[in-house]
Structure 1
Amino acid sequence: MARREKGGFWVGLAAAAFYPLTAIGKRVYLGAEKIPRQGPAVLVMNHISHLDPAVDAVFVHRQKRVPRFFLKASLKDVPIFGRIVTGSGQIPVARGSSAAGDSLKAAHQALQEGKVIVIYPEGTITKDPLGWPKEAYSGAARLALQNDVPVIPIARWGTNQIFNGYTKKFTPFPRKTVTHLVGDPIDLSAYRGGNPRSASTLREVTAVLMDEVTRLLAEIRHEEPPAKKPETAAETKKADSGTADVVKDPATALDEAAAAEKPEDGA
């Protein structure tokens, strides 16, 4: 039996805060054994509520791993919480600045050190009223292709029924069920042999990642997803420029960080 990954004092403090918070919903974990108990991994997830980071952090921690999220760099300045962010090894994102590349370097370093990174390719919570994933950014694909580590799709459903971030409606009772369904690692070997940094490859891999997440979400919901994504990433980027998300647009941060790595096919 694998031992729990050591997190230290600050991870323990975060757990002490998040575990009671996430107890607001009933937990259902399906396929959790597919998350590696040791070694690096990228966990690709959908994003439906501002509760997701806390709920997902507890989910990963219950699998004996310490999750690393992309957080807005400004959160480091928040009293106490900022110390937790820094002490627990989270990755600060300095959007639109010369330090944007630091988040990409930190992500690569974390994977090289055998850590688990959680990323929401959509960047922010979906605006689809039915909660289906929107078009995603390519940052997650870039991270996955540049690191030969397990890339694991995970769908989560139920947090949006507790707290809807856009209507600001908080409905803790009656108690809702929050379900996580973990899929098999996605084989990206076919995309590593050519030019993994080309625009066409990044678009294709992004679609592969999100199609699998959407398939898992459909399985949880026992519904068919829409044939077309609710909205495009470009539209959401413009609309969300002022949205205060807890984990804000990490995929876009990776895109910005790698701006110098221009796609070769010009697509």
Structure 2
Amino acid sequence: MARSPVHEKGNAWLTFCQVVMYPLAFLLGRERVSGAEHARRRGGYLLVANHISHLDPLFDSVAVRKIGRIPRFMAKASLWKVPVLGNALANTEQIPVDRAGAGAGQSSLDKATAALNRGKVVLIYPDGTVTRDPDMWPMKPRMGVGALALSGDFPVIPVAHWGSNHVYTSYGQGRRFHPLPRKVVHTRFGEPVDLDDLRAGPHDARAVRAASFRIMTAVRDMVGEVRGVTPPAEFYDQKKAARLAQRAAQAAAPAPADAPAPETPEK
């Protein structure tokens, strides 16, 4: 794969986005990008990133654009209904994800695959949302990332970031915005994940699951490197955590008072 300098040309809408996003990203944090050589390549490839703040797309957009490529995000379809933003998303070829209705998810995967086959860069957050892990680690991945990764022969590059959550806390102890003093926001690109063995075999549910977890493990390990701590052995499962919390709440609830004994009718 050629890694010579490449600059993907955009349009007026992309220029508009850059005029807005570059200064905003500068004001909100001091982004430190590492491993850019892994993403500075021609042709289509898939970027897979952890999701720790609603600001992640802002910093990811700037980082990818500065290496000469245009990221196509897989984002929830409702954003296309927002004035101005919807036009910007449509005219910069972002990919809407509509989870409502039969086949909606597959439709977005098909659009992403088509973009990759056209030599575009697609970026996906396999968590499906900002992480709910109490320690901000990547969650159990959705299987769409594995299905997309096995849909073609293109590089799958893990991306780790840390620091955007210090600028804007999306969940946890409540939403908080604290841009000052300016925080360091790390964005690290890793080496492509080796999926040759899975691509050579049948692309069944087992292969898709294996690909999803292999990719997310690479992302998680890179996040650990950026944070300087050892990541957990297992991924946070939001549905499992909700079930455990519900059981704990039921166990802690006071037992209902004994119902009064029925009165004995007088004889």
- Give the TM-score normalised by the residue count of structure 2: 0.84
Q: Which residue of 2 aligns with 1:40?
A: 44
Task: Please give the per-residue CA displacement for 1:78-109, whole angstroms capped at 9, x wherever unaligned.
Answer: 21111101000001112112561431221111
Deviates more, 1:116-125 or 1:101-110: 101-110
In angstroms, what is the RMSD of aligned CA positions?
1.7
SS at match of 2:78: helix
Q: Which residue of 2 aligns with 1:16?
A: 19
Q: Say yes or no: does 1:175 pair with 2:182.
A: yes
Q: Which residue of 1 aligns with 2:205?
A: 199
Contact 2:126 2:141 (8 Å CA) reproduced: yes
Contact 1:5 1:38 (8 Å CA) reproduced: no
Deviates more, 1:154-163 or 1:101-110: 101-110
Q: Tell me the distance in 2 between the aligned counterparts of 1:163 and 1:59.
A: 18
Q: Tell me the distance in 2 between the aligned counterparts of 1:133 and 1:139.
A: 15
Contact 2:109 2:144 (8 Å CA) reproduced: no
Greater relative CO, 1 or 2 (CA 8 Å, sep 6+): 1
Counterparts in 2 of 1:218 and 1:5: CA distance versus 1, 3 Å: same
How much has 1:236 moved relative to structure 2? 7.8
Q: Tell me the distance in 1 between the aligned counterparts of 2:155 and 2:242.
A: 28
Q: Tell me the distance in 2 between the aligned counterparts of 1:99 and 1:190.
A: 28
Q: Which residue of 1 aligns with 2:79?
A: 75
Q: Tell me the distance in 1 between the aligned counterparts of 2:107 and 2:207.
A: 24
Q: Tell me the distance in 2 between the aligned counterparts of 1:74 and 1:127.
A: 21
Give the aligned residue type for 1:35. A
Candidates 217, 225, 230, aligned match of 2:231: 225
Query: Alignment identity in percent?
Result: 41
Contact 1:136 1:233 (8 Å CA) reproduced: no
Deviates more, 1:152-161 or 1:128-137: 128-137
Q: Which residue of 1 aligns with 2:64?
A: 60
Task: Please give the per-residue CA displacement for 1:234-261, whole angstroms capped at 9, x wherever unaligned.
Answer: 44899xxxxxxxxxxxxxxxxxxxxxxx
Q: Which residue of 2 aligns with 1:114?
A: 119
Candidates 122, 128, 149, aligned match of 1:123: 128
Q: Say yes or no: does 1:185 pair with 2:185.
A: no
Q: List aligned pairs for 1:212-251, cutoff 5 A.
A: 212-229=218-235, 231-232=236-237, 234-235=239-240
Q: List aligned pairs for 1:153-168, cutoff 5 A.
A: 153-166=158-171, 167-168=174-175
Q: Tell me the distance in 1 between the aligned counterparts of 2:136 and 2:58.
A: 19
Unaligned runs of 5+ in 1: 239-267
Counterparts in 2 of 1:11 and 1:119: CA distance versus 1, 3 Å: same
How much has 1:43 moved relative to structure 2? 0.4
Task: Please give the per-residue CA displacement for 1:118-170, whole angstroms capped at 9, x wherever unaligned.
Answer: 00111111112221111111101110111110000110000001100012111
Q: Say yes or no: does 1:132 pair with 2:137.
A: yes
Q: Which residue of 2 aligns with 1:243?
A: none
Q: Tell me the distance in 2 between the aligned counterparts of 1:236 and 1:117.
A: 30
How much has 1:36 moved relative to structure 2? 3.6
Q: Tell me the distance in 2 between the aligned counterparts of 1:32 and 1:135.
A: 26
How much has 1:194 moved relative to structure 2? 1.5
Candidates 26, 29, 38, aligned match of 2:30: 26
Q: Say yes or no: does 1:150 pair with 2:140.
A: no
Q: Which residue of 2 aligns with 1:86?
A: 90
SS at match of 2:137: coil
